[in-house]
Amino acid sequence: MNRRRLGPNIEWLGSIDWNRRLFDALIPTPHGTSYNAYLVRGQDKTVLVDTVDPAKKDDLFHQLAGVERLDAVIIQHVEQDHSGALPDVLDRYPDASVLATPKAVSMIEDHLGVPAERITPVEDGETLDLGGEKLEFLHAPWVHWPETMLTYVRGQRVLLTCDLFGSHLATSSLFASGDDRMLPAAKRYFAEIMMPFSSAIRGYLNRLESGRYPIEMIAPSHGPVVDSPETILSAYRRWTGDDTQNLVVIPYATMHGSTGRMVDHLASALTERQVAVQPFDMAITDLGDLAMSLVDARTVVFAAPAVLVGPHPAMVTAAYLVGALRPKFRVACVIGSYGWACQTQERIESLVKRPNLEWLSPVLIKGQPRKETWEALDRLADEIADRHAAA
C-alpha cells in the first residue's frame, strides 16, 4: 500500500496487519490491527512520526521511496509496535535525529539500542517549526507507557496520538467514517489498553478541549484516522467518567457444574429484578469481550470453584485482569462451590486489590447447591438490585 494523503502536508504511512489475532501474547485482536506512521512536511523540514512493528518494516520502506531526507523521527511511544523499525529508519537516514520525551531517551536506548546522542528530548509544549507548518508536543504519560506524548500539527489541525484513541482494526478505510466498526473496536481497545489510565486521560481531555487545540482529525497509530473527532472524544469522556450502567458482570469457571448452576440462578434472579447481567465462562471467553463489559459494569461477581483450596486458575486470571484494568465498578462479590476447604474469597480480594470497593457477603458452598444456596443467591440479587437502584 502506498502513502495516503491526509492533508496538504501530511500523509499516512504504515502497515495494515489483517491477520494479527493476538497482541502481547494476551490480547485478542479479532479484527486485526494496523501500525500507522505519519509523514509531515514543511518548507524546510520533513519528519516521520512513529514507525511500524519491525515485522512490517518493508511496508514502511516501500512507502518511504522518494523521501530523500528526513530531518527527524518523532517517537511518541517506545513500545515496539510503533518504534520497532526505528533502527532501520535511522540507518537509512543517518542525518535524522530522534525526538521524544526526556523519559523516553533511556527507554529508546534500552528497548531499541539507539544511542542517547542520537536522541533530542522535547519538553511539554515545545514546538518544532518545519517551515510553514508547526508541530507542538504534548507530554501525555501513561497512554500507554510513562514516556508517551502526542503531537499537534497546528496548520492542519491534526492531532497525532499513537495508542490513545486507537483501535485494533484492520480496514481499507483510511478514515473512521468509512468503517462503522471503528467505535466498538475503539471501546475494546480502550478497555484492554487505556482503562487503567482513565484518570490521566480525563486530564488530557480537559487540555485538548480547552480551546487551544482545534482538532479536525485525530490520527492514532492503530486503526483508522478519526475524521469526526467529537465521536471519539465524547466516547472517551463517557468511558473514563464515573458513571456506570445497571449491569452485573460475572466472570466464572465451573468444573463439575455446581458453580455454573449458581451463576445461572443468579443471572436469572438479577434479570427478574431488572438488572442486566453478562456472564463470561473463562474457559472460552474472549478477554477483550470481558474487558469491554467492565467499562460499564456497576457490579462484578466472581464465580469460582476451588482448585485445592484456592480459586480455579482461570478465575485467578480473571481477578488479576480486573485488578489490573481498574474498571470503575463499586460493588463486588464472590460465589462458588468448593470441595473440602475454601480460601477463594480472600485470594480473589487480594488479586483485585481495589480500595473503595464494597464486597458483599460471599455465597460459598461445600459441594452441590441446594435450597439454602438458591435462597442465598436470591438475597444477593436483592442486595445488588438495591445498590443499583440507589446509584
Interacting residues with ligand FEO (CB under 6 A): 77, 79, 81-82, 144, 163, 222
Least spacing, CB of residue 268 vs ligand FEO, in Å:
40
- State which residue, 81 or 136, has the beta carbon closest to ligand FEO: 81
State the minimum distance, in angstroms, from the CB of residue 36 to ligand FEO.
Answer: 10
**Which CB atom, from 141 or from 339, has the smaller least distance to ligand FEO?**
141
The three cell numbers of residue 336 are: 462458588
CB of 82 vs ligand FEO, minimal distance in Å: 6
Cα gap 275→297, rounded to integer Å: 11
- For the CB of residue 167, give the shortest distance to ligand FEO in the complex, in Å: 11
| Closer of 220 and 369 to ligand FEO (Cβ) | 220
| In the complex, least distance from residue 234 CB atom to ligand FEO, rounded to whole angstroms | 23
Task: Spell out a b/e string for 122-147, using b for 16 or more CB atoms within 10 Å of the CB, else e.
Answer: beeeeebebeebebbbbbbbbbbbeb
In the complex with ligand FEO, the residue whose CB is nearer, 107 or 158, is 107
How far are the Cα atoms of 144, 154, 158, 201, 210 from residue 213, in angstroms, in the given order?
A: 21, 8, 9, 16, 7
How many degrees, rounded to 5, is the angle at CA 381 between CA 338 and CA 241? 105
Q: Which is nearer to ligand FEO, 37 or 301 (CB)?
A: 37
For residue 330, give the C-alpha cell. Answer: 463499586
Pair 303, 345: CB distance under 8 Å: no
CB of 28 to ligand FEO, least distance (A): 15
Q: State which residue, 89 or 335, has the beta carbon closest to ligand FEO.
A: 89
How far, rounded to the nearest angstrom, does the alpha carbon of residue 246 sit from its chain's CA centroid?
23
Q: Which is nearer to ligand FEO, 77 or 328 (CB)?
A: 77
CB of 144 to ligand FEO, least distance (A): 4
Q: Distance (Å, rounded) from C-alpha 29 to C-alpha 27?
A: 6
110 or 372: whose CB is closer to ligand FEO? Answer: 110
Min separation Cβ 166 and ligand FEO, Å: 7
Q: In the bound complex, which residue of the shown chain has the CB atom lying closest to ligand FEO?
A: 79
> Which residue bears the cell 485482569?
321
Helix (H) or strand (E) holding 16: strand 10-17
33's CB contacts (< 8 A; 6+ apart) are 17, 20, 23, 168, 169, 170, 222, 223
* Residue 83 C-beta: closest distance to ligand FEO, Å: 9
Cell triple for 337: 462451590
Q: Residue 171 carries which DSSP code?
A: -
* DSSP states along 112-142: H---GGGEEE--TT-EEE-SS-EEEEEE-TT
Rounded Cα distance, 184 and 205, in Å:
20
> Considering the complex, what minimum distance in angstroms separates the CB of residue 60 from ligand FEO?
15
DSSP 323-360: HHH-----EEEEEEEESS---HHHHHHHHH--TT-EEP
Q: Residue 220 or residue 251: which is nearer to ligand FEO going by CB?
A: 220
**For ligand FEO, the closer CB: 3 or 77:** 77
Q: DSSP H helical segments within 229-370, as ranges?
A: 229-240, 258-272, 287-296, 313-325, 344-352
